[in-house]
Chain A
Amino acid sequence: MSLANRYSAGEHRFGMVIDIDKCTGCGGCTVACMSENNVGVLYDETDKIRSITWMRVYQVDNGKPFPETQVAFFPRPCLHCEGSHGHHTPCVSVCPATATDYDPQTGIVSQIPTRCIGCRYCVGACPYHARYFNWFDTPWPAGLERPLNPAVAPRMRGVVEKCTFCYHRYQRAKNKAFLGGGKVEEMDYQTACTEACPSGAITFGDLKNPNHKVAQLAQSPECFRLLERLGTNNKVYYRTTREWVRRLADNYLKDEKPGQVAAS
């Protein structure tokens, strides 16, 4: 199926291609994301079940002993699932408070913390662990409220938050377009993680716009999505040429070959 036809009608489908073969696992994207989106540092950041990382880098290896060991990294933002028929984003379908919705225009899954009731159904529904519950109020040390990003509202204890593809940057780009009378160009709207990645592993743009680099890259047979057979029809593509990395991206049977198994 061609890239644009995978998604329902709508002006844009913002998405990413993350090149795993380029990712060094430095964590620059995670830091840039936390800084951009006012994600604070908790009292105990070693408690990874309760810490918050909208953009999280997962480390995988091929399971072989030295010297054959190989390591790869999966940077994981929110994957902004659309579902197979245009409106079945796993988290959106379970939210009882309509605190999250799927934007038919941009394909971005929103999260409105002020509307969230903290039931955490969405955290359970997300197959990618992309949603985080605020178990604590972030303890901003004195003075650290000053470098907060005014374009992103800080959250309080008891609500869920997640990556929004830096939606405030899209709003900002639209402002510029309104004033100039033009359109939002590819480089006007880039996420913080994309800009921060030192090896250029992340490409961001509109998957529906054939002129955008992301739309060209995502067509490659070397690109795949995480747990594609769940039918989440998400918009974050990963790219690798290594067979073993690709096998880890979904639950393949021994006799199945990745890339030849049809997505549901």
Chain B
Amino acid sequence: MTTHEQGQAKRSGADWLLFVVGFVLFSALGFWGTPALLYAEKPQPFQFSHKVHMEQVSEGCKSCHSFREDGSFTGIPSTDKCKECHSDSPQGNTPQEKTFVEEYLNKGKPVDWQVYSKQPACVFFSHAAHAENAGLECKKCHGDHGDSEKLRTYQQNRLTGYSRDIWGWSILGMGDPPKRMKMDNCADCHRANGVRDACFVCHK
């Protein structure tokens, strides 16, 4: 009997149990431990309800996230934009609005939001091309963020400094946008719709 065969013969139920326990333990560590190590949670300055605001405005997302005349996108609105509706005393009675009015609006201070979908510096993204020219809905990439009542947790990759939304919330990198905003996701959609996917289309 060779050493190899001896090893096989000796494998008992306890060996298998140990293997399964080890496998489960380390998988769990990988799935839950790695993200905890890799991503740092950063708080938003205060809570914000998209839903409440969507009920007040007439033009949907565009009411606040608008284009400038030169075709550039304003992104997250400035405090001045908020001033168009908010006055220097709170309209509702939430503590969040009180914080906003007292700390930011009255002081003319910009809100230092953590931006979930902020892309790396080498990426050029045109909202005009997607939302205006191609007529895509905001939801296509941003999901139902516009209907959310609370801002979800913002996580930042400790190594790259990028938002976790870029890699996606699934540690295996699976799932559709908005769970993932990698180059492959952009390229897949470009190819599927016959849009050019040369480097300079999206890189700068």
Contact = CB atoms under 8 A, between A and B. Distances in A.
A176 B126 contact: no
Nearest to A38: B121
B200 A167 contact: yes
A70 interface: no
B203 interface: yes
B133 interface: yes
B132 A179 contact: yes
B69 to A, nearest CB: 8
A152 B121 CA distance: 8
A222 interface: no
Residues of A contacting B: mostly = loop
B93 to A, nearest CB: 39
B129 A168 contact: no
B199 A175 contact: no
A175 B124 CA distance: 12
Contact of A152 (B67, B196, B204): B204
B198 interface: yes
B47 to A, nearest CB: 29
Contact of B129 (A105, A112, A152, A174): A174
B203 A114 contact: yes
A115 B133 CA distance: 28
B122 to A, nearest CB: 4
Nearest to B200: A110
Contacts of B122: 112-114, 153
A178 B204 contact: no
B71 interface: yes
Interface in A87-124: 98-99, 101, 103, 105, 108, 110, 112-115
A151 B121 CA distance: 9
A112 B203 contact: yes
A147 to B, nearest CB: 15
B70 interface: yes
B29 interface: no
B200 A178 contact: no
A173 to B, nearest CB: 8
Contacts of A110: 198-200, 203
Contacts of B34: none
A167 B126 CA distance: 14
Contacts of B124: 151, 168, 171
Contacts of A164: 200
Contact of B128 (A99, A112, A167, A178): A178
Contacts of B63: none
A53 to B, nearest CB: 20
Given A110-B198, A154-B121, A178-B133, A172 B204 contact: no
A177 B71 contact: yes
Interface string B100-143: 00000000000000000000011010101100110000000000
A154 to B, nearest CB: 7
A178 B203 contact: no
Contacts of B196: 105
A177 B121 CA distance: 24
Interface string A46-85: 0000000000000000000000000000000000000000
Contacts of B148: none
A88 to B, nearest CB: 17
A147 B71 CA distance: 22
B72 interface: yes
A248 to B, nearest CB: 33
Interface in A157-204: 164, 167-168, 171-172, 174-180
Contacts of B199: 98-99, 101, 110, 112, 115
Given A110-B198, A167-B204, A176-B71, 5 more contacts: A112-B203, A113-B122, A114-B203, A167-B200, A176-B70
Interface of B: 67, 69-72, 121-122, 124, 126, 128-129, 132-133, 196, 198-200, 203-204
Interface of A: 98-99, 101, 103, 105, 108, 110, 112-115, 151-154, 164, 167-168, 171-172, 174-180
21 contacts: A110-B200, A110-B203, A112-B199, A112-B203, A114-B122, A114-B203, A115-B199, A152-B204, A153-B203, A164-B200, A167-B204, A168-B124, A168-B204, A172-B70, A174-B71, A176-B70, A178-B126, A178-B133, A179-B67, A179-B71, A180-B71
